[in-house]
Amino acid sequence: MDANFFWRAGMPSLMLEQRLHHHICLGLSVILLGTTLVGCGSGESKANKESQPEEVIVPKPKDFNIKVPIEMRNVVLKVFDNSDNKLVLEQNVITTTNLKVTLPYILDRNRLYRVEISTTPSSIVYNFLTSKYESMNFTWRALVKVDVSNLTQAIFINPSSEAIYQRALVRSGQLPTDENQYPMLITANQLDLATGDVDAALLSAFKNLDIPNVEATTLFHVFSPQDAHLKTALYANTYLSFGYLRQWANTYPDNSFVEFAHNLAIDLRDGYLDGKTLRGDPAPLTSLVATTPDNIDPAKNTIIGIGTTQKNAREQYAASLKQAVLELADSFNQSSTNPKNYSNLQQRTYAGVMPIADPSTPSSVRLNGAGDYRRAVGFADTSATCNGSIYPCKQGLIGINLINHSLPTIEYLIGHYQDSTQNCQLNVRADGWIELIK
């Protein structure tokens, strides 16, 4: 008989699921006071009601300004309410250059929205490396929090936003092997954590990359801007972001842009640029990251211990990325036209730097850049006992969305396991659910 067992990794043990919900209800009573103004003149009293002009409140945001790194033509733009997957807007787009769309109604600031760009059979995309338009096939997504501070909200859709989306799916408890994917399950907190994962791995490449999409008429302006001395951070991020594409194309020149983004998203499903997939992920992965060793010793679950284990992979990838960034800058003669900014590209670090010593209290073991920084599974010290057991043990096995560096994590175990001979399957999910299916 088939059986399904569901366990939850949480505090203080696998069998206990704790949920905490805060419901705060605020009641407000508003008292409107009318003021009677008495005027003195001919001896008669006169009541006047002072009127104030009504404030006109403009719904925000009213428009989305869609920002993509390279020009796309004949694509489809869709906006979804990510809470219920309701389609808010669909629009055929002739070109992504200066693309702004007006929303059909006011968005709920307490919800996430999902913006997608998909190619069609007639789509062409500008390849900045060859200066040609090419036929490509992909869908990129960006999960968006509503910003009401301005009438227009910039939406950045790029390889990083797609990787964040894929990582957020995993953080929400989903696996690539699931029959269906439900983006509606992603919470704002999981989106924030996924964004942090990808930004750390990519050194914040493509993050808020507010440039004109690259095409023939903007190519020189983007890579050799006249105001580079005023926008040094944007200049550096532009070359870093497109440097990843140049690095990929140096090894895989065919269909480089799409394949880079596709493989990047697969690699970063586990949150790290480590050349590895989640356990059981059937998607083939092509990566430029040298083989990263597994972290298997809980005694080395420190930033020094894991940073040392990942040192070779991290530094090799950083050197390759730096070379690609400088090659791209050289192709636009930046050493002579923007010498100060070019020098900054030469001197910047392309990977995190290990501290001299480990912190005195448990802390994050992650360094920016390439490498596998998941803590080894297990305890370094097992002399304590728990729950009255006569055997040494420790409590606390948590999902990865609860940040506690003092407790072991299931991060290395996340994935799908299957024993075809016994018809047994095991799913370990990032939110702490563990399923045994037979």
Write the secondary structure of 357-389 as one string of H (helix), E (strand) and C (coil): CCCCCCCCCCCCCCCCCCCCCCCCCCCCCCCCC
Gyration radius of the chain's alpha carbons: 27
Segment 330-341 shows an average pLDDT of: 97
pLDDT of residue 126: 97
pLDDT at 403: 87
- pLDDT for 392 beyond 90: no
Report the distance separating Cα 286 and Cα 148, nearest Å. Answer: 40
Lowest mean pLDDT among 25-34, 69-78, 211-220, 391-400: 25-34
Pairing status of strand 152-156 against strand 139-145: unpaired
Q: How many domains does the chain have?
A: 1
pLDDT at 407: 79
Q: Which range among 31-45, 51-65, 108-122, 343-357 shows the weakest confidence by mean pLDDT?
A: 31-45
Strands 132-134 and 152-156: unpaired
pLDDT band at 232 (very low <50, low <70, confident <90, very high): very high
Measured over the CA atoms of residue 183, residue 189, residue 193 and residue 199, the dihedral's sign is: positive
- 372: amino acid identity, one letter: D
3 state SS of 291: coil
* Identity of the amino acid at 23: H
The stretch 411-428 carries a mean pLDDT of: 93
Contact indicator for 254, 286 with CB cutoff of 8 Å: no
Helix 188-202 with 159-171: angle, nearest 10 deg: 130
Return phi, psi of residue 37, to 5°: -95, 125
434 token code pair: 């563990």
Is the pLDDT at 17 greater than 90? The verdict is no
Distance (Å, rounded) from C-alpha 165 to C-alpha 371?
20
- What is the length of the chain? 438
Mean pLDDT over residues 381-388, rounded? 63
Tokens of 431: 């939110």
Do 170 and 269 form a contact (C-beta atoms < 8 A)?
Answer: yes
Strand partners, 65: 100, 154
Asked whether residue 300 is assigned to any structural domain, the reply reads yes
How far apart CA 197 and CA 204 sit, in angstroms, is: 10
The mean pLDDT value for 178-202 works out to 98
Distance of CA 110 to CAs 83, 105, 146, 193, 242, Å? 10, 15, 7, 18, 33
DSSP state for residue 299 in the 8-state scheme: G
154: confidence class by pLDDT, cuts 50, 70, 90: very high
Looking at the predicted structure, is the pLDDT value of residue 25 above 70? no
pLDDT at 385 over 90: no
CB count within 10 Å of CB 359 equals 13
What pLDDT is stored for residue 374 in this prediction?
Answer: 96
pLDDT of 394 reads 60
Distance of alpha carbon 183 from alpha carbon 371, whole angstroms: 27
Q: Can you name the residues that pair with 114 across neighbouring β-strands?
A: 80, 143
Give the per-residue pLDDT at 24.
31
Rounded to two decimals, what is the model's pTM?
Answer: 0.86
Give the E-state strand segments of 236-343 in sequence order. none
What pLDDT is recorded for position 349?
97
Mean pLDDT over 383-405 rounds to 72
pLDDT at 151: 92
> Do the beta carbons of residue 184 and residue 83 sit within 8 Å?
yes
Residue 359 lies in a domain: no
Please state the rounded mean pLDDT for residues 352-359. 95
| Of 381 and 53, more confident | 53
DSSP state, 43? Answer: S
Q: Contact at 8 Å (CB) between 371 and 405?
A: no
279: containing domain = 63-347
pLDDT at 29: 35
Bond before 12 cis per omega within 30 degrees:
yes
Is residue 20 situated within a structural domain?
no
Dist CA 288 CA 303 (whole Å) = 24
Residue 271 has pLDDT above 70, yes or no: yes
Does position 23 have pLDDT exceeding 70, yes or no?
no
In this predicted structure, the answer to whether residue 260 has a pLDDT above a threshold of 90 is yes
pLDDT in the model for residue 36: 34
Mean of pLDDT values over 27-39: 33
Is 381's pLDDT higher than 60? no
**What mean pLDDT is reported for the chain?**
87
Alpha-carbon torsion (313, 319, 322, 326), positive or negative: negative
pLDDT of residue 26: 30
Task: Categorize the per-residue pLDDT at 396 as very low, low, confident or very high, splitting at 50, 70 and 90.
Answer: low
Q: Specify if 10 maps to a domain.
A: no
Q: Is 334 inside a domain boundary?
A: yes
pLDDT of residue 8: 55
Region 375-398: what's the mean pLDDT? Answer: 67
With respect to residue 49, please indicate whether it lies within any of the assigned structural domains. no
Residue 410 lies in a domain: no
| Cα-to-chain-centroid distance, residue 90 | 24
Higher pLDDT, 212 or 420: 212
Contact of 150 with 61, CB cutoff 8 Å: yes
Q: Is 369 within the bounds of a domain?
A: no
Give the pLDDT score at 97: 98
